[in-house]
Structure 1
Amino acid sequence: MEWFILAISGLFSGVVGALVGLGGGVILVPAVLFFGTTLALIPDITPQSVVGLSVVMMIFTGLSSTLSYMKTKTVDFKSGFIFFIGSIPGTILGAWVNRGLDLPSFNLYFGILLIILSTLLLVRDRLKPVKWFVENGKKRTFTDDKGTYIYGYPIWFALLLTFGVGFASGLFGIGGGSIIVPAMILLFLFPPHVAVATSMFMVFLSALVNSATHMSLGNIPWLYTIPVIPAAYIGAKIGASLNKKLNSNTLVFALRIVLLLLGVRSIIAALM
């Protein structure tokens, strides 16, 4: 039963993560915690092991998505590497802080994060882009059949921002795309499809560091990776394919509500 639950959770996490550039951890972590700790359907699940499982999964969702997006040439590899460099120390620090969290503390902080992410997705379309970062940063261009886009960022700010993204990723096992994608679109003026593709490339690279760190801490439940990894890999391919065909606004709207409800449930579980 637990393998079936993990496979379905991994598949759904891969689809949603690749479709909107989230990485999938924001779906897998609360799902596995709910089935594992609240319903007791997955044995030996702890905040540390579910984060370890999530970061290993994100290696494969990130790789699958990146390979798919490479075919459409929407991955900005140079920016992705810069963002990855900034995330490395934050990822390692977050993983080390994670080992000191018990379940109530993890649920409380993770619930607060989910509500923040839900709010970010809610206001993302209503905020006006900030051109200052492009005008005072390193400019990039991207051209497709719809025209040429100019975007950019000060490297120092990008490194600072991705340090925070990496910390959240290491601490909670999320990909960081839910934070970095709105920032790339609103602050750095990335075209949305380039932001999603580049985010998944950064998720792949940072998940390698994240997994190595959590592996050294003994946080990865290797047996549970068997159903999750192939399901998430397939899901990520489906999500990347749907990204090219669908307007993801409906999914993003639903995701806002889901993250909000999950955040509230997580906080209530922490306080009970």
Structure 2
Amino acid sequence: MEWIILLFIGLIASILGSIMGLGGGIIVVPALMVLSSYMVAFQHITPQVAVGTSLLIMIFTGLSSTLAYMKQKKVDYQSACIFFAGSGPGALFGVWLNKDIETNYFLIFFGGFIIVVSFILLIRKYIKPLKRKPRGIVRSYINQLGETVEYGFQPVVAISIAFVVGMCSGLFGIGGGSLMVPAMIILFGFPPHLAVATSMLMIFLSAIVSSISHITLGNVDWLYALALLPGAWIGGQLGAYINSKMTSDAVVYLLRVFLIIIGIRLIYQGITGL
């Protein structure tokens, strides 16, 4: 029974993560933590195991989504590599922070973080790039209307933001796209679809770094990872396809409601231990 549940979680998390560039861990980690309080089979799940297992799955979600976005020619490889220069070290720092965190504190912090993410998703459709001329590294992109869009960023600023994103990834087991994608759109002027696709490549690279660290610490449940993998791979492809066909407003709305409920549930579980 738990294998069917994990397969379904991996599929849904990967689809939503790929559509919005989130990575899927924002669903997998809270799902594992909530299940640990309801089902005997999941009672051994600690924050460290939930995060480590999620990050391992995120490698395959990120790879699957990135390959699909590559076919759509929406990935900015140079920008993703520059962002990874910050997110990679940040991910290692996040793993170090996660190492000794107690379950109750993790649930409270993560629950609060999820509610913040739901608020970001609430305002995301209203996010517009700052009206300024691109500086630093300037890139261009031809959108679906055939228009050439310019965007750019200062490497120091981009790497600093990516470090924080990587830290959240290593600490909470999420991709970090919930923070990186809005920053790419607002501060750097990335077209939304390009931001999501480029974010998924950065998430893939960061997940490799942080998951290796968690593996060395013994924070991966390999059986559960195998159960999550098929859904994660298929969902990554489906999410990228859906992203190319829709604005995903309805999906974002449902995800917001779901995240708020889960966030409140995790905080309650952390405070009461139930």
Alignment TM-score > 0.5, same fold: yes
Which residue pairs with 1:61 in the alignment?
61
Going from structure 1 to structure 2, the CA distance change for 1:214 and 1:269 (only over 3 Å counts) comes to: same
Which residue pairs with 1:19 in the alignment?
19
What are the superposed Cα offsets for residues 69-98 of structure 1, whole Å, 9 maximum, x if unpaired?
111100000000011111111100110111
**Mapping for residues 255-266 of structure 1, pairs under 5 Å:** 255-266=255-266
Which residue pairs with 2:155 in the alignment?
155
In the aligned structure 2, how far is the partner of 1:169 from the partner of 1:179?
Answer: 10
Which residue pairs with 1:136 in the alignment?
135
Which residue pairs with 2:100 in the alignment?
100
1:159 counterpart letter in structure 2: I
Which residue pairs with 1:6 in the alignment?
6
| TM-score normalised by length of structure 1 | 0.96
What are the superposed Cα offsets for residues 136-169 of structure 1, whole Å, 9 maximum, x if unpaired?
3321100134111111111100000000000000
Which residue pairs with 1:221 in the alignment?
221
In the aligned structure 2, how far is the partner of 1:44 from the partner of 1:19?
Answer: 31
Deviates more, 1:117-126 or 1:85-94: 117-126
Q: Secondary structure at the match of 1:75?
A: coil
Which residue pairs with 2:182 in the alignment?
182
Contact 1:131 1:187 in 2 (8 A): no
Moved segments of 4+, more than 4 Å: none
In the aligned structure 2, how far is the partner of 1:44 from the partner of 1:7?
Answer: 19
Q: Which runs of 5+ in 2 are unaligned?
A: none
1:84 counterpart letter in structure 2: F
Which residue pairs with 1:123 in the alignment?
123
In the aligned structure 2, how far is the partner of 1:123 from the partner of 1:243?
Answer: 18
Aligned length: 271
Q: CA deviation at 1:41?
A: 4.0
Q: CA deviation at 1:5?
A: 1.2
Q: Which runs of 5+ in 1 are unaligned?
A: none
In the aligned structure 1, how far is the partner of 2:153 from the partner of 2:72?
Answer: 23
Deviates more, 1:35-44 or 1:239-248: 35-44
Pairing 1:76–2:76 present: yes
1:176 counterpart letter in structure 2: G
Contact 1:131 1:188 in 2 (8 A): no
Contact 1:37 1:45 in 2 (8 A): no
1:144 counterpart letter in structure 2: N
Contact 2:134 2:150 in 1 (8 A): no
Q: CA deviation at 1:43?
A: 4.2
What are the superposed Cα offsets for residues 108-155 of structure 1, whole Å, 9 maximum, x if unpaired?
0101110111111112233442235x5333211001341111111111
In the aligned structure 2, how far is the partner of 1:118 from the partner of 1:250?
Answer: 14
Which residue pairs with 1:235 in the alignment?
235
1:138 counterpart letter in structure 2: I
Q: CA deviation at 1:171?
A: 0.2
Deviates more, 1:145-154 or 1:58-67: 145-154
Q: Secondary structure at the match of 1:135?
A: coil
1:6 counterpart letter in structure 2: L
Q: Secondary structure at the match of 1:58?
A: helix
Q: How large is the RMSD of aligned CA atoms in angstroms?
A: 1.3
Deviates more, 1:47-56 or 1:119-128: 119-128
Going from structure 1 to structure 2, the CA distance change for 1:128 and 1:143 (only over 3 Å counts) comes to: closer
Which residue pairs with 1:200 in the alignment?
200
Going from structure 1 to structure 2, the CA distance change for 1:174 and 1:79 (only over 3 Å counts) comes to: same
In the aligned structure 2, how far is the partner of 1:143 from the partner of 1:177?
Answer: 23
What are the superposed Cα offsets for residues 216-267 of structure 1, whole Å, 9 maximum, x if unpaired?
1111111211111111101111111111112211111221121111111111
In the aligned structure 2, how far is the partner of 1:82 from the partner of 1:37?
Answer: 40
Q: Secondary structure at the match of 2:150?
A: strand
In the aligned structure 1, how far is the partner of 2:76 from the partner of 2:167?
Answer: 22
In the aligned structure 2, how far is the partner of 1:246 from the partner of 1:49?
Answer: 35
In the aligned structure 2, how far is the partner of 1:77 from the partner of 1:48?
Answer: 31
